[in-house]
Amino acid sequence: MSLAQSVLAGDRLSLARLLTRVENDTPEGRAGLDELFAHTGKAHLIGVTGSPGTGKSSLVNQLALHFRKQEKRVAIVAVDPSSPFSGGAVLGDRVRMRDLAGDAGIFIRSMATRGSLGGLAQATAGMVQVLDAAGFQVILIETVGAGQAEVDIARLAHTTLVVEVPGLGDDIQAIKAGILEIADILVVNKADRPGADSTERALKSMLELAHPAARIFLHHGGPPSPPIFEAQNGGEKVEWIPPIRRTVATDGSGLAELLEAIQAHVEHLQRSGDWARRERTRLEVEFDLLVQQMLMARFRAGHSEDRLEQMLDAIQERRFSPREALDKLMEENR
Amino acid sequence: MTEHKIRVLVAKPGLDGHDRGAKVVARALRDAGMEVIYTGLRQTPEMIAEAALQEDVDVVGLSILSGAHMALVPRVLDLLKANGQGQVRVFIGGIIPDEDTPKLKEMGVSAIYGPGAPTEKIIADIHATVTDAG
């Protein structure tokens, strides 16, 4: 029986081992992904991102507990950064997830970024596919503590939660491009702390700026269809306005409301056709990445190490620009 | 293909609440290029074995200062074996009386480190055993 078959049969050790092989991008890992691919596409992928210390791990812990009450099998992929110097990492997200121990309906896997900069590791998507094929209905993906531009999670997940806490930044942070834009649901965690009101207000005003129709909706109580909006969205489609939910992840307050918002988002994705659209975008990104890797490998195979070094010398001595050097190499390869 | 990273679970079984030593070791292993999964305090042997399985680690490091090692360590070793992870190397750090050392080694513990053990030694030992295991 192949590793992939044992994973489908529900063997947890095989699952853990296949995840390692996928993470290390070994031939066995690649074969496993190919074998399992037909079984993927069923899980609801939920991304949880936000700055370091906002309580992502504790929130994931609570979300997992609540999904377990609905009898759903839950996998968690928790990403922490690798050291840029040693390549090592300390992965500490499990510390906040001790409530989940001893439950066979839960599988937690920690991973290091291994040099990726977008808040996830390169292998995260592959590992999520393995867990999806293994029959986990909800997969919670916790990114590294992300600052402003680590937005890869929005390409991977169906639903992206951006976690904020009171006391971080003001309303000018809230209108910058980047992480807040990718939120499907905004969470103000540690909402028992002072300043939760003003954080929620800043987020709300950001949303109003970003969604002109939403503001009218909120202030006048009915969904108007301004012409611009209609044109952009093809008429009958409903726009999703990211709701803001307050939580205290350490005691579970607000979690029921957050879960309702997540459920509402799933229904929205299915109704609007966005579920399939997001899926397609994700597969396209994944495919592009494979093409890049393959072309890179082919390019390297087509030129000797010495020739590439020579060209680098020429570039460093300013005899060619990088693009000229590439043109020359491509011609030689022909 | 990327290189195989050594993955180490650093765990605190039992009831003592002192994890400074565990954190120092975790940090040193990180600086040696390993991926260290830290579990936090007060873990049962069952929790440790479960984490070792889910994380598919090469090495489990147990930090025990409570004196309960003769109860906790065999339980962890048994659970690892029962889960099909008999190949995982187990290292212990903490306060372990000399007379217990041979018994623990006989049970299958790879190495035991007392207070003041140089982290370089731990790193070298891990490299040696994990390479042995292939």
pTM for this prediction: 0.87
Residues 6+ apart with CB under 8 A from A50: A56, A145, A146, A161, A162, A163, A164, A165, A179, A187, A189
Nearest-neighbour CA in chain A from B100: distance (Å): 30
Residue B40 forms contact with A (CB below 8 Å): yes
**pLDDT tens by residue, A210-264:** 654 443 333 334 444 343 333 344 444 568 889 999 999 999 999 999 999 999 9
End-to-end CA gap in chain B = 17
pLDDT band at A302 (very low <50, low <70, confident <90, very high): confident
What is the spatial order of strands in the sheet that A89-91 belongs to?
Answer: A89-91, B35-38, B7-11, B59-64, B89-94, B111-113
Within 10 A of A207 (CB to CB), how many other CB atoms are there?
Answer: 20
Compute the C-alpha angle B80/B86/B91, nearest 5°.
75
Q: Which domains does chain A have, with CATH numbers?
A: 1-37 (no CATH), 40-275 (3.40.50.300), 302-333 (no CATH)
List the single residue in A87, A89, A94 with the smallest CB-CB distance to B40: A94
**pLDDT tens by residue, B90-118:** 999 999 999 999 999 999 999 999 998 99
Q: Are A58 and A250 in contact (CB under 8 A)?
A: yes
d(CA A325, CA A327): 5
User: Do A95 and B55 lie within an 8 Å CB cutoff?
Assistant: no
Average pLDDT, chain A: 86
DSSP for A4-65 reads HHHHHTT-HHHHHHHHHHHHTT-HHHHHHHHHHGGG-S-SEEEEEEESTTS-HHHHHHHHHH
Return the residue in B36, B39, B54 with the most chain A beta carbons within 10 A, the one to mutate for interface testing: B54
Residue B1 lies in a domain: no
Residue B66 lies in a domain: yes
Specify the CATH number for the domain of residue B91. Answer: 3.40.50.280
Q: Are A167 and A188 in contact (CB under 8 A)?
A: no
Residue among B43, B45, B105 at smallest CA distance from B81: B45
Residue B90 lies in a domain: yes
Residues 6+ apart with CB under 8 A from A291: none
User: Do A109 and B29 lie within an 8 Å CB cutoff?
Assistant: no
Nearest-neighbour CA in chain A from B5: distance (Å): 8
Residue B106 lies in a domain: yes
The structure tokens listed for A17 are: 């081992």
Average pLDDT, chain B: 92
The ipTM value here is 0.92
Evaluate if residue B28 carries a pLDDT over 80: yes
Closest residue in A to B28 (Cα) is: A88
Which residues form the domain of B65?
Answer: 7-133
Task: Tell me the average pLDDT across A97-125.
Answer: 91
Closest residue in B to A91 (Cα) is: B37
pLDDT at A1: 85
List the single residue in A16, A86, A94 with the smallest CB-CB distance to B33: A86
pLDDT band at A177 (very low <50, low <70, confident <90, very high): low
Chain centre distance of CA A221: 33
List the single residue in A25, A83, A110 with the smallest CB-CB distance to B1: A25
Question: Which chain A positions have a beta carbon within 8 Å of B37's beta carbon?
Answer: 91-92, 94, 110
Compute the C-alpha angle B85/B91/B93, nearest 5°.
145
Q: How many domains does chain B have?
A: 1
A2 φ, ψ to 5°? Answer: -75, 165
Q: Are A75 and A136 in contact (CB under 8 A)?
A: yes
**pLDDT tens by residue, A34-88:** 999 999 999 999 999 988 889 999 999 999 999 999 999 999 999 999 998 899 9
Residue B2 lies in a domain: no
